[in-house]
Structure 1
Amino acid sequence: METFQDESDPAAVTLRQADAPAVILVAPQLGENIGMTARAMLNCGLTDLRLVQPRDGWPNRDAVTAASGATEVLDRTRVYDSTRDAVADLHRLYVTTGRNRELVKPVLTARAAAAEVHDHASVGHRSGVLFGPERTGLENDDLALGDAIIRVPLNPAYKSLNLAQAVLIFAYEWFQYGSDDEPRQLPMGNSRPAERGKVVEFFERLENLLEVKGYFHPPEKRPAMVRNLRSFFLRAEPTDQEIRTLHGVVSALLGAKMKRARSPAQSEDGDRDE
């Protein structure tokens, strides 16, 4: 088992690499694209990168630079003389193409393919995804080796993806499948959600002040206006610290108004207002 750390989340993500699909690049042209592919893979917990006849040879210094620290993937990269050799140990192979070909094969989105890969892994079957050269894509003979085609729905007027982008789309869908991450979070740091009693206490203070200042006019609209104000603040999901800050704002405004209301002339004890 290997662990990958998400820099934005201190919790480590543990992945069973035996279940992870292989990424096979056929005749990649630029070392930079291989490096960026490795970076995309490691972001999503994939480490099995296979190259078929890379144009500029292997290892490649440009790939190391572009990988931005994803050397774990580059160090494990294997090079093959043919696509057939690169996929020989796999039970299931997905191929990628953005063009219509005269092949009768299932066509899946990256999300659907990722779900299938997980299903196959659950019964011990290894899968791989085949990506073609940057300029031409996969040849028909390579596409014929696949069980299904992965196609990403994109803008019909412009469907151009670079190699690493194409890999990242599938890798992300594979990584997210079955994820228990909350779709919406509100990080609060060291603070806690404000207790409802403290929130209501602030509401009442604010509403009393607004009452004194004649805000609730006409009076019959007061209940609806109060509900609107409370709904507004509650949508913000205030923390304890934020409620204290709001109390401070009200206090500061009250103090400022009191100072403006007092005369700048000397007071009875001879002192002047600042």
Structure 2
Amino acid sequence: MPTETPQPDFVLVRPQMGENIGAAARAMWNFGLDRMRVVAPRDGWPNPRAVAMASGAGRLLDEAMLVETLPEAVADAHFVLATTARTREMTKPVYAPERAMQLAAAKIAEGQRVAVLFGPERAGLENADVARANAIVSVPVNPAFPSLNLAQCVLLLGYEWRRAAGEVAPERMQMDGSDWAAQADVEALAQHYEARMEEAGFFFPAHKAESMRRTLRNFWSRMPLTQADARLLHGILRQMVRWKDRGG
């Protein structure tokens, strides 16, 4: 059975090639989506080529809802989005993928069921299909080549859904087995370097020494050091002093 995770239903309307259905399943599962509905697939169902292409996402195909008509596929939906490049022939809201999935997330959070329609590979959704949708999702593609592969479109909407669901951090720091250095760690490092640099006669002339020390402290405070970084810098300085004491 599909997971209980709140998510939209992805509806493949009259898909043609089994390979594309399988690739769409794989793209869905990449982003934790597993509610696939398939409307009147051209080459029948189940489709061995879809299974081969789905790879580890074959479960989605086993559990996919198979129906003959679009009305059956969206009968339980409260809000339907149609992915299409045809936006001039109907009066409907048109959303970019990011905004569409934000809206889907808000409606699903309110307890509504949302369906997203994807058309067949050759020509996309027909006007009669789009007419059943509440809104349109339009991908900002090259107008000279607007056709998207079915699985590509599914992948794009799946990614935007994951972003809208709050599962994609805009930025994160990968820590490699060390925590950030505390102020005490940075202070000890600064004092270590100042002491050795003082012995080396670095702070010269005397009237510039205070400004040089302040610049050095500012340098350490700007640097995002980990505890491992601090230990490394301590070790480098100690080894350099030992090397000097040995006569180079």
| Rounded Cα–Cα distance in structure 2 between residues aligned with 1:78 and 1:220 | 80
Measure, in 1, the Cα distance between the counterparts of 2:212 and 2:126: 67
2:20 to 33, 47, 60: 33
User: Normalization by structure 1: what TM-score?
Assistant: 0.77
- Alpha-carbon distance in 1 for matches of 2:165, 2:50: 31
- Match of residue 256 from structure 1: 243
The one-letter code of the counterpart of 1:115 is: Q
Q: Does 213-222 or 119-128 show the bigger shift?
A: 213-222
CA distance in 2: counterparts of 1:154 and 1:221, whole angstroms: 59
1:147: which partner in 2? 134
Cα offset, 1:147, TM superposition: 0.8
**After alignment, is 202-211 or 239-248 more displaced?**
202-211
**Corresponding pairs, count:** 248
Separation in 2, partners of 1:174, 1:121 = 11
* Separation (CA, whole Å) in 2 of partners of 1:166 and 1:226: 57
Given the superposition, is the C-alpha separation of residues 251 and 78 from structure 1 closer, same or farther in structure 2, using an over 3 Å criterion? same
RMSD in angstroms over aligned alpha carbons? 2.8
Larger helix proportion of the pair: 2
State the Cα distance separating 1:38 from its structure 2 match: 1.3
Percent identity between the two aligned chains: 43
**Structure 1, unaligned runs of 5 or more:** 4-15, 262-274
Instruction: Specify the alignment match of 2:178 in structure 1.
Output: 191
Shift of residue 232 of structure 1?
Answer: 4.6
CA contact (8 A) 2:2 2:35 kept: no
* 1:197-239 deviation digits (Å, cap 9, x = unpaired): 1211111212333344454556555555545544554455322
- For 1:222 and 1:68, the matched residues in 2 are separated by 66
Distance 1:223 1:53, change over 3 A: farther
Q: In 1, distance between residues paired with 2:232 and 2:96?
A: 48
1:137 to 120, 124, 143: 124
Determine the C-alpha separation between the residues in 1 that align with 2:80 and 2:116.
Answer: 6
After TM superposition, the structure 1 stretch with the greater mean CA deviation from structure 2, 55-64 or 101-110, is 55-64
Distance change in 2, residues 1:235/1:165 (3 Å): farther
In structure 1, the residue matched to 2:61 is 74
For 1:45, the aligned partner's letter is: G
AA partner of residue 67 (structure 1):
A
State the Cα distance separating 1:59 from its structure 2 match: 1.9
The one-letter code of the counterpart of 2:233 is L
Q: CA deviation at 1:146?
A: 0.8
Give the aligned partner of residue 266 of structure 1: none
Provide the rounded CA distance (Å) in 2 between the counterparts of 1:218 and 1:160: 69
**Correspondence list, 1:17-166, <5 A:** 17=5, 19-155=6-142, 159-166=146-153
- Alignment gaps of 5+ in structure 2: none
- Provide closer, same or farther for how the CA distance between residues 50 and 221 of structure 1 changes in structure 2, counting only shifts above 3 A: farther
Q: Does 1:238 align with 2:225?
A: yes
Scaled by the length of structure 2, the TM-score of the pair is 0.84
Equivalent residue number for residue 12 of structure 1: none
Q: Distance in 2 between matches of 1:223 and 1:39?
A: 62
Deviation at 1:90, TM superposition (A): 1.6
Partner of 1:70, secondary structure, is helix
User: Which runs of structure 1 show a deviation greater than 6 angstroms over 4 or more consecutive aligned residues?
Assistant: none
Structure 1 residue 132, shift from structure 2 partner? 0.9
